[in-house]
Amino acid sequence: MSRLIKSILCMSLAACMLLCGCGAPQESQPETTAETTAAATTVPAKPAATIDETANVKRYDFLSIKQKTDEINSAFNGYVSERRFKGVIYMKLGNDFEYLSATGSSDANNHKNNSINTRFYIGALTEQMTAAAVLSLVDSDKLSLDDTIDKFFPDYKYGEDITVDNLLNMTSGIPNYIVRSDISDMAANLHIAINDDIKEDNSFDENKKIILDWILSQDLRFEPSSSFENSDSNYYLLGEIIAKVSGESYEDYIYSVIFKPLAMNATSFDGGDKLALPYDGNAEGDKLCYSGVGYSACGMISNISDLLKWTDGIFYDKIISDESINKMRTPTENGYSCGMYISGDRLSASGRCGAYSSMLSYTTDKSEIFVSLSNYNFSDPSFLRGLFRKYLSKFSAG
């Protein structure tokens, strides 16, 4: 990890010289992937054997990539400018190619630019870390994946039908308290039924209670385990389960079992002076960043360096058991597990929180890593990653 972080730091000065695009944003045409289509679709369960273990996994001629580093950097810089992306992008291929782009302002009024140290809301990337915290409780025999959630929410009428595993795998049927406006997830707002009640001057507990009460009062969209639907409500409930089982707040527990062991010192649930300010957001979407709203589903704040520590450490630093690691790396019948979409040896997740967007995609051997964080509403990391990978196809190993 130290060599990688040093490499990023060394490249940051060059990244500051990248030009930002200007003018009105172009219409987004995101890469069609499992993570974009599943966000708005209920998918009937299907046998695990139908998963294509090699889908979307590219193998590159890394020597050719190393030799063409300047050409690739130039092409990627062009895509970033053309797409008017504002934020930070990091990409690694093999051991000899690293790309870093830092564009746009973190605080225009105070003349601060985005950099590798800038912190952003990471949206649904929060969920994979919440999943790891749940599995750590399973490892310590304080929780079972087969536990039904009436154990934690005794008044919930569907509690006896839904397991902790259903929540982890998005197969509970619980409706989403966050509404995605379209399949590309380019906008997200609170459900209309709770939108007016969530307020910036509410306390953390007040907003959280409003959301929990709504989630636990809704009828299911389908019978548990019969279908798949990406719903942030599942991971919101998991945050409460972590708190109830651990005897600590969700935030304190995840700090002790995830952030501290992996030295993720820039990751938290509070802003601070290094949090990038949002640009071109909408007032309703910004409510997702209010205290108590994102919580264990989409409430984390982090930076590029810490997300790289996560990819380095989650499967190799023994913060969870080998059995739990295997669960996080193995797709269910819907290609999803523990906050990530899995295709072959690639794990991917993306998120949006107000004007903030994020994407993390990497192979389990870390031969390819893509991380993107933005504070500009019209940035589209999924589409940009698609352009990068399309360009790199000329360096395919066969």
Determine the pLDDT at residue 284. 76
Q: Residue 22: pLDDT above 70?
A: no
Report the CATH number that the domain containing residue 236 is assigned in CATH.
3.40.710.10
Determine the pLDDT at residue 245. 98
Q: Are 15 and 73 in contact (CB under 8 A)?
A: no
Mean pLDDT of the region 291-312: 96
Mean pLDDT of the region 268-286: 85
Is 14 part of any domain? no
Residue listed under structure tokens 């008017």 = 84
Of 178, 171, 179, 177, nearest in space to 222 by CA: 171
If one counts the domains in the chain, the total is 1
The predicted-structure confidence for 197-246, as pLDDT tens digits, reads as follows: 999 999 999 999 999 999 999 999 999 999 999 999 999 999 999 999 99
Angle at 91 between CA 90 and CA 95, to 5 degrees: 125
Higher pLDDT, 221 or 60: 221
Higher pLDDT, 242 or 45: 242
- In angstroms, the Cα distances linking 203 to 199, 208, 273, 292, 293 are 9, 9, 21, 8, 10
Is 81 part of any domain? no
Mean pLDDT of the region 181-198: 79
**pLDDT band, residue 52 (cuts 50/70/90):** very low
| Residues above pLDDT 70, as percent of the chain | 84
Mean pLDDT of the region 246-275: 94
Is 12 part of any domain? no
Determine the pLDDT at residue 303. 97
The DSSP H or E segment spanning 43 is strand 43-44
Instruction: Give the lowest-confidence range in 6-10, 15-19, 152-156, 169-173.
Output: 15-19
Q: Residue 21: pLDDT above 70?
A: no
Is 197 part of any domain? yes
Q: Residue 32: pLDDT above 80?
A: no
- Reduce the secondary structure of 364-385 to three states and give it as a string: CCCCEEEEEEECECCCCHHHHH
Is 19 part of any domain? no
Is 167 part of any domain? yes
* Residue 342, amino acid: I
Region of 264 (left: φ > 0; alpha: ψ -120 to 50; beta: rest) is beta
In this structure, what are the phi and psi dihedrals at residue 314, rounded to the nearest 5 degrees?
A: -60, -40
Give alpha helix (H) positions in 264-370: 295-298, 304-313, 322-329
Tokens describing residue 107 = 């605080």
Question: What is the domain extent for residue 296?
Answer: 42-59+121-395
Is 192 part of any domain? yes
Determine the pLDDT at residue 185. 53
**pLDDT band, residue 181 (cuts 50/70/90):** low
Separation between Cα atoms, residue 97 and residue 370, nearest integer Å = 12
Region of 220 (left: φ > 0; alpha: ψ -120 to 50; beta: rest) is beta
DSSP three-state, residue 92: strand
**Parallel, antiparallel or unpaired: strands 97-103 and 368-374:** unpaired
Is 364 part of any domain? yes
Determine the pLDDT at residue 272. 75
Q: Are 249 and 296 in contact (CB under 8 A)?
A: no
Q: Residue 1: pLDDT above 60?
A: no
* Residue 144, amino acid: S
The mean predicted confidence, pLDDT, of the chain is 86
Q: Residue 30: pLDDT above 80?
A: no
Instruction: Please enumerate, as own/partner, the contacts of 344-348 that have beta carbons within 8 Å and a separation of 24 or more.
Output: 344/52, 344/53, 344/54, 344/55, 344/56, 344/57, 345/57, 346/56, 346/57, 348/33, 348/34, 348/35
The predicted-structure confidence for 84-138, as pLDDT tens digits, reads as follows: 999 999 999 988 899 999 999 999 999 999 999 999 999 999 999 999 999 999 9
Determine the pLDDT at residue 211. 98
Mean pLDDT of the region 367-374: 95
Mean pLDDT of the region 301-329: 95
